Amino acid sequence: METQQKLPARSSSDFSRGYSLLKRLSLFFGLALTGGVSDLWTKAVVFDWLGFPGESPRWWLLDGYVGVETAVNIGALFGMGAGFGLFFAFASILAGAGIFIWLFFFQGARSLWLTVAMGLVAGGIIGNLYDRLGLWYKPGMPAEWKSGVRDWILLAYGEYTWPNFNIADSLLVVGAIMLAWHSLTLKPPQEATLKAQKTDLST
């Protein structure tokens, strides 16, 4: 009677082929720094061009739909939490530290998808944190702007105008969508390992 040879169980590293800590670090910091610099550069360019809120009219790229308008958000998402800018700055620092620890100490960076998602989120944190810390603020500006975030992207449809946002906000949203997609569609490594083992034993 022929006996079936039991195959050795695969380790989780079998499902991370091509994984390199140095490469993941480079990808993460590359995305974070590129995103943060892009956000800060576009803010500087647009505010130099149109000035501070109320100094120039809206400039439409697509009339009535997509435009540029400077604004300063002294709250969080959609202006909520006005007056708590320093709290949001502190929360951003904690979030950034948590992302780094999760990726590179708890090995979340083994997933390329998660590394990209967290790199985008980190870029968004960098861009808005710079503003929250008041590093763009100059004497003579309204005091409430000191921990405010510069926004400039304008979307509208008919009578409705979406709250102004910036590149950093866009990075945060894209990163969050990627995380949600990952949690809903991708199988955890343990489940993938068990499935592979069952496939091997059945052949």
Q: Which of 14, 48, 63, 151 is catalytic?
A: 151
Angle value at C-alpha 185, between 180 and 190, nearest 5 degrees: 105
pTM summary value: 0.80
Decide if 118 is inside a domain. yes
Distance CA 193, CA 28 (A): 26
H or E element in which residue 107 lies: none
pLDDT at 186: 67
Judge whether residue 188 has pLDDT over 90. no
Q: Give me the phi and psi of 138, to 5 degrees please.
A: -125, 145
pLDDT at 76: 66
Catalytic residue check, 48: no
Decide if 11 is inside a domain. no
Which of 32-46, 88-102, 108-122, 160-174 has the least mean pLDDT?
88-102
Residue 171 near residue 42 (C-beta atoms within 8 A): no
What percent of the chain has a predicted confidence (pLDDT) above 90? 65
Average pLDDT, the chain: 84
Decide if 7 is inside a domain. no
User: Could you list the residue range(s) of the whole structural domain that residue 119 is in?
Assistant: 21-189
Decide if 75 is inside a domain. yes
Q: What is the mean pLDDT of residues 12-29?
A: 74
Which of 74-83, 95-104, 164-173 has the least mean pLDDT?
74-83
Give the rounded distance of the alpha carbon of 65 from its chain centre. Answer: 25
Alpha-helix residue ranges (DSSP H) falling in the chain: 21-50, 85-104, 112-132, 167-185, 189-202
pLDDT at 75: 74
Q: Which of 14, 39, 131, 169 is catalytic?
A: 169
Residue 119 near residue 35 (C-beta atoms within 8 A): yes
pLDDT at 3: 47
pLDDT level of residue 82 (50, 70, 90 thresholds): low
pLDDT at 160: 93
Decide if 195 is inside a domain. no
Decide if 9 is inside a domain. no
Catalytic residue check, 151: yes
pLDDT, tens digit, 9 for 90 and up, residues 111-132:
999 999 999 999 999 999 999 9
Distance CA 82, CA 167 (A): 20
pLDDT level of residue 78 (50, 70, 90 thresholds): low
Q: How many domains does the chain have?
A: 1
Decide if 167 is inside a domain. yes
Quick one: which of 32, 51, 57 has its CA closest to 171? 32
Decide if 73 is inside a domain. yes
